[in-house]
Structure 1
Amino acid sequence: MNSPHEQQSTDTDLRRRWNELASEVRHHRDLYYNQQPEITDAEFDELFRALQRLEEEHPELDVPESPTAEVGAPVPEGSTFDNVEHPSAMLSLDNVFDESELRDWLAKVPGERYVTELKIDGLSINLTYRDGVLVQAATRGDGRVGEDITANAKVIEDIPHELRDVEGIPVPSLLEVRGEVFIAVEDFAEVNDARQRSGGKPFANPRNAAAGSLRQKDTAAVKERRLRMICHGLGASEGFSPELQEDVYQALEAWGLPVSPYTQVVDSADDVIERVRYWADHRHDALHEMDGLVIKVDSRASQRRLGHTSRAPRWAIAYKYPPEEVRTRLLDIQVGVGRTGRVTPFAIMAPVRVAGSEVERATLHNQTEVKRKGVLIGDEVVIRKAGEVIPEVLGPVVEKRTGEERPFIFPTLCPACGTRLAPQKEGDADWRCPNTRSCPAQLSSRLESLASRAVFDIEALGEKGALDLIRRGILSGESELFSLQLEDLETSAVYTTAKGAVNAAGKKLIEHLEQAKHTDLWRVIVALSIRHVGPTAARALAQRYGSLPAIREASVEEMATIDGVGSVIAESVAEWFTVEWHRDIVDAWAAAGVTMEEDRSDAPEQVLEGLTVVVTGSLEDFSRESAKEAIIARGGKAAGSVSKKTDFVVVGANAGSKETKARDLGIPILSEAQFHVLLASGAEGLEGSEESPEEG
């Protein structure tokens, strides 16, 4: 048992630790809401959780003035906007960070149904309508008092100045709507480009861009920033008493307010977990940045019964996904050489966990980007990981510099073969190694690429195997690949046992090479590593000409007229075939039995010729790739985005912004059953089917 003196010392230490953490949380919270953040969201979450844990372990520290009991941040002194009081408190959300925590919350807050919706990474806004007319728009502030940004809100196209009357759902005399203002991912690059052209510093991310835009006094400049808004809640209201959260969103949409296309009502805790897992894999499918999934009890009566704490409702929770933007130390910048000779600088970093995995490399694109971003070796840098691609360095944390950092000097010679580097043509940002044929780095990259699942799918040929075959002199070029025999592998270090016999991986390699010979013509075209030629152009060429010899003889003018090819790709294809060692690859592969012409004996009828089809959401009978293949095989164009040129949009489960855009443009929308009809009989078949396309 501690003596009174020891207990007093312990209490003092605890109080000091609490004061330090509380001060840090307040400081960084203020920067996040009112200025420029110094730490990442994930680092702030950890600070906040540390303070919460300290208060849970020592309840005497859990005082009303703690940051853990507060919402947002007070309006900064010197704000150029007037202070306004919200008609009702604008609360925040509590967070959970793993499935175990979420299941605990679901067990404590049982509901007959839950509403799941994306947690938008934007800026919170509060709209107040009286008799259907927008009278006030305000930032969250501290949850009670925010900044009056009504003038700026009125130039955001998504925000109606007046609500529309709907039969059966009268507009309330008072309606307080909560939402999030954001810049769509697809608009962010253009917003940044415009900002740089006018001499401004680029925004680090869409959230910062939205926050900075909404706090401008120049409404014309605000309008140029392409701000959007989605409503996600209700504050005070008079004359509106919905029974369900779902009813709230249906009414808001009916009155002309924007609601999320990604919201879904589910019936059980297991369904909630399924939605969490789904969006963990599809977080980049949304039109906006998102960092979590919000779960709400659907019943409004249950919401009132559960109530709220001083800062958050008890009937809602935010599941936060692992961070995709973190900070680490830039230890070095090196360069890699790709399959087309492009030399790409990449960052070597102190290992850091981002988006659920540990990384220590990140791309820097090219030497121009290194200069533009202003990163120095030794900098603390912000990195971002999107999807499954290699992370990207966004920029340095300049205020953390010590003076010991040094600039990166781009090499003049290829690090793999020593050849002098240069742009392929004047004005190119990328520098390349011109030793295309025999540069080990380029050759091994080409072998890796053609062995990938999307091309020949040679599972036994990876990075180590490709480098080994080149370094041991077993292959001097890809032309020899399909002539490999088991005995050729006996000098390999990767494909042999300790006793020198060909191992299981070597035998598998030879088997896979034999299988790969019998594939689609378009895959063979992609495997040739012709600059600019990816799957779309390769499919178009294969479909038009039917064989590699025919493509080889085709004119640039003729190829340029093919949809999906164009003049740049046509010139690249024609130029590729002028090189003797390129033609040797084709001849050697042909001699080894690799597919050189399309087998059209069982090709489906070209019922989709001239039609552009977009598939969105999850289909039961098709993966995204197989749906695309089915469209292309029938002569159609499988587009990735919806435009006025789109003929049909096929909508599966959890479709998002593409369905919304199709409806806005009036494009016919098909179910999966109708998609089967379209593939079998074309557009004419739909006219005779039991269900006609839904008009968008």
Structure 2
Amino acid sequence: MSATSEDRRRAESLRERILYHNHRYYVLDDPEVPDAEYDRLVRELKQLESEHPDLVTPDSPTQRVGAAPRPEFREVRHAIPMISLDNAMSDEELVDFHRRVLSGLPGSDDPLYVAEPKLDGLAISLRYEGGVLVLAATRGDGTRGEDVTHTARTIPSIPLSLIGEDRPEVLEVRGEVYMTRAGFERLNAEILQRGERPFANPRNAAAGSLRQLDPRVTARRPLRFCCYGWGELSVSPEATQQAMLQRLAAWGIPISRELKVVTGLDGCRDYFEGLGRRRESLDFEIDGVVFKLDRLADQVRLGATSHHPRWAIARKFPAQEEMTRVEAVEFQVGRTGAVTPVARLQPVQVGGVTVSNATLHNMDEVVRKDVRIGDTVVVRRAGDVIPEVVRVVAERRPADARQVMLPSHCPVCGSDVIRPEGEAVARCTGGLFCPAQRKESLKHFASRKAMDIDGLGDKLIEQLVDLDWIHEPADLYGLTRERLVHLERMGEKSAANLVAALERSKETSFARFIHALGIREVGETTARALAERFDGIEPLMRARVEDFVQTRGVKGVGVETANALHAFLAEHPDLELSGDLTEWLAGLGIRGLTRARAEALAERFGDLDALRAAELEDLYLNSRRLVEGVGPVVAAHIAGFFAQDHNREAIGRLLAAGVRWDSGSETRDQAPAQPLEGKTIVITGSLSQPRDAIKSRLQQLGAKVTSSVSRQTDYLLAGEDAGSKLDKARGLGVEILDETALSALIDRLSQTNPGVTS
């Protein structure tokens, strides 16, 4: 059937769009659409050309691979074309491939296939002559690629020379340059610290790193290479794909550790499903599995088309990324009060699941990705991970796209939403009142180190909340034996014991009561410090940030600049002001004293005499803690909590229910000093135990565990692959410990103070 004019227009439009996206993907390393969208365009064009062969043109994207090389790299022509693999997007298409193999190999019932992960990176060719690497080239359009020898040589996993006495005179190795997930995260963290735009995914990062004009840039990137095949070869290959890959490995070429020979269609299916289950646990991105006939003689018999071999196929996983539209952004309140932006999406299929919501994590991410209501976005879903918005397709932004604004009040309870300076997460301050936080706040209130209500476990609290019997802590003290006895698995004795435990818990200590309120970052140690500092709950509720932290100095001025200015003024007591104070200060040439800082100092002091009279601590921004363990961030949490009428009213109802303490109970309640009490520790890198377990142990030993390194950090506990935090700690002079050194420190501190418990 001949093509209509509409068919011709559609085919031409598809070619133009595919060629455009080829250029974005293969040449610029900056794809505009996810792989699933690109695959749909190619499949539609293939279908159209299959139905109407007269539409096929020599320059159609279906007749070649990729795009032309970038002009700043020398062009390389591949002696043997690097053709691409055909894709199987479903099990039915894998079955069709297997059937075609069987029809091309009469008498073969269950052929052997070599299976390996399809790495999501950049395909390259490595040419060795006399055992020495002489050329590295990208695949490009399959016939012509780009010379990247200068950057490929910097990748540690690419051998500069082959090993073994039987190495061939000429060997062309083909494989993938990729980046591990851990390496990608470290690289993006470093890029963000420099204020630059991060890479969208490990594939882009690998491609962008390899295509650098300066090999020193590539050398700093965590790239790896994995071989999956070969091209020109001056010796006879082995009889099978598996044996030949093992021979390449013997010459020092890295191959996949997941490589496996499987039998027939069932073997392919089992490997695909098994690797799919482990996909998210791998430390590298894959988008499918490649199956190749194992016997090279069979590969030769089946041959290839102009753009893909008939003896191999890539079975693709369901698309993890898709494009859709942001219809609205709402804010959810989590069990700890975190206020999280959630994108409401035009429903789209991602990885076989309909996705209509995706997390935006926090407002920092919203701003960094510049997500707006009405935008077209790329959404990613990996395994059971909550779908997330990866990036905005800026070219499709409508004129009426609206910016996302953080709400000032909790969408659930109406309490203030605060976002302390330096923190990414905004939080609802209605901890004792907010329904979204109800179960967690009640569990914390009843816990052993808080009000210590024996018998009131998590499941019982969830049951009481689900029955709508309790809404806040004071409601617990209204529970009666007669009512409790009707609960599931609650007999007369259990009900009576719980009522008695509730009555006992009313007699507590002020420190325990403060801890039980669940104020963010106010643990046992800080609660004791607050109990010692304030005479009772009323003075504590009236306290403001300045009652916890005394701030001095000028914002924006650091200690080094302040020291230099203070010393200069002391060394030149007779120097007089000439003209405007801002301009005079900026013209002194003191290192770090920019015009903006000079302006801030002039605004704060007004004249030179006042500036001379100032103490050093008045010049740079600094703070003094009036309560041990309470810095500016914790002070903001405390003041924000007690500023809410809901929380003060909930406390009033607890006191009315009979909760009480006396001044003498504080001394009895205090636990012995801990070996790490007063120490601030940051954890980074891979350690011998889960991070949460280590954090919990450190907190039990009295330490404050924070997520970011600062001048207040005492120690950095660093495991393997410690990234930017390690560099920052070194720059600030923070003591760095491994797990062995930490244990030695705890033992030493415990021996220094026999009263501590470790």
TM range (shorter): 0.5 to 0.7
State the alpha-carbon separation in 2 of the partners of residues 390 and 194 from structure 1: 25
Aligned to 2:46: 52
Deviations 1:662-695 (A, max 9, x none): xxxxxxxxxxxxxxxxxxxxxxxxxxxxxxxxxx
Q: Is the 8 A contact 2:675 2:702 kept in 1?
A: no
Q: Is the 8 A contact 1:474 1:489 kept in 2?
A: no
1:401 has 2:397 as partner: yes
Aligned to 2:307: 311
Aligned to 1:373: 369
Aligned to 1:69: 63
State the alpha-carbon separation in 2 of the partners of residues 237 and 277 from structure 1: 34
Query: Partner letter of residue 345 of structure 1?
Result: P
Of residues 429, 436, 439 in structure 2, which corresponds to 1:441?
Answer: 436
Give the 3-state SS of the residue equivalent to 2:126 in structure 1: strand
Identity percentage over the alignment?
A: 40
State the alpha-carbon separation in 2 of the partners of residues 105 and 486 from structure 1: 70
Aligned to 1:229: 225
Q: Is the 8 A contact 1:347 1:362 kept in 2?
A: yes
Q: Is the 8 A contact 2:114 2:262 kept in 1?
A: yes
State the alpha-carbon separation in 2 of the partners of residues 468 and 61 from structure 1: 64
TM-score computed with the length of structure 2 as normaliser:
0.61
Give the 3-state SS of the residue equivalent to 2:407 in structure 1: coil
| Cα pair distance change 1:69/1:486, threshold 3 Å | farther
| Cα pair distance change 1:244/1:566, threshold 3 Å | closer
Of residues 337, 356, 359 in structure 2, which corresponds to 1:363?
Answer: 359
**Aligned ranges 1:593-612 → 2 under 5 Å:** none
Aligned to 1:524: none
**Aligned ranges 1:290-309 → 2 under 5 Å:** 290-309=286-305
**What is the CA-CA distance between 1:39 and the residue it aligns to?**
1.4
Of residues 378, 398, 422 in structure 2, which corresponds to 1:427?
Answer: 422
Give the 3-state SS of the residue equivalent to 1:317 in structure 2: strand
Aligned to 2:27: 34
Aligned to 1:102: 94
**What is the CA-CA distance between 1:426 and the residue it aligns to?**
5.0
**Aligned ranges 1:230-379 → 2 under 5 Å:** 230-379=226-375
State the alpha-carbon separation in 2 of the partners of residues 50 and 320 from structure 1: 17
State the alpha-carbon separation in 2 of the partners of residues 485 and 68 from structure 1: 76
Gaps of 5+ in 1: 1-6, 451-455, 491-505, 518-527, 534-550, 577-611, 613-643, 647-696
Query: Partner letter of residue 338 of structure 1?
Result: G
Deviations 1:336-384 (A, max 9, x none): 1222222222211111111221111111222222222211122112222
State the alpha-carbon separation in 2 of the partners of residues 53 and 460 from structure 1: 60
State the alpha-carbon separation in 2 of the partners of residues 307 and 85 from structure 1: 22
Aligned to 1:557: 675
1:150 has 2:166 as partner: no
Q: Is the 8 A contact 1:556 1:567 kept in 2?
A: no
State the alpha-carbon separation in 2 of the partners of residues 552 and 316 from structure 1: 70
Q: Is the 8 A contact 2:438 2:471 kept in 1?
A: no
Deviations 1:578-609 (A, max 9, x none): xxxxxxxxxxxxxxxxxxxxxxxxxxxxxxxx
Query: Partner letter of residue 129 of structure 2?
Result: R
Deviations 1:96-121 (A, max 9, x none): 11112112211221452111111111
| Cα pair distance change 1:93/1:413, threshold 3 Å | same
Query: Partner letter of residue 144 of structure 1?
Result: T
**What is the CA-CA distance between 1:489 and the residue it aligns to?**
12
Q: Is the 8 A contact 2:439 2:461 kept in 1?
A: no
| Cα pair distance change 1:332/1:489, threshold 3 Å | farther
| Cα pair distance change 1:467/1:312, threshold 3 Å | farther
Q: Say which is worse superposed, 57-66 or 407-416, in terms of deviation.
A: 57-66
Give the 3-state SS of the residue equivalent to 2:344 in structure 1: strand
State the alpha-carbon separation in 2 of the partners of residues 103 and 509 from structure 1: 57
Aligned to 2:5: 12
State the alpha-carbon separation in 2 of the partners of residues 103 and 446 from structure 1: 54
Q: Is the 8 A contact 2:130 2:169 kept in 1?
A: yes
State the alpha-carbon separation in 2 of the partners of residues 200 and 460 from structure 1: 50
TM-score computed with the length of structure 1 as normaliser:
0.66
**What is the CA-CA distance between 1:457 and the residue it aligns to?**
12
| Cα pair distance change 1:566/1:340, threshold 3 Å | same
| Cα pair distance change 1:333/1:159, threshold 3 Å | same
Give the 3-state SS of the residue equivalent to 2:38 in structure 1: helix
Aligned to 1:174: 170
| Cα pair distance change 1:207/1:489, threshold 3 Å | farther
**What is the CA-CA distance between 1:427 and the residue it aligns to?**
2.7
Q: Is the 8 A contact 2:432 2:472 kept in 1?
A: no
Give the 3-state SS of the residue equivalent to 1:91 in structure 2: coil
Give the 3-state SS of the residue equivalent to 1:71 in structure 2: coil
Give the 3-state SS of the residue equivalent to 1:284 in structure 2: helix
State the alpha-carbon separation in 2 of the partners of residues 305 and 339 from structure 1: 62
Q: Say which is worse superposed, 94-103 or 104-113, in terms of deviation.
A: 104-113
Q: Say which is worse superposed, 412-421 or 566-575, in terms of deviation.
A: 566-575
| Cα pair distance change 1:459/1:345, threshold 3 Å | same
State the alpha-carbon separation in 2 of the partners of residues 149 and 428 from structure 1: 42
Aligned to 1:80: 72
Give the 3-state SS of the residue equivalent to 2:675 in structure 1: helix
RMSD, matched Cα:
4.1
Query: Partner letter of residue 184 of structure 1?
Result: T
State the alpha-carbon separation in 2 of the partners of residues 335 and 44 from structure 1: 32
Deviations 1:161-201 (A, max 9, x none): 100115xxx11111111111111111112211222334431
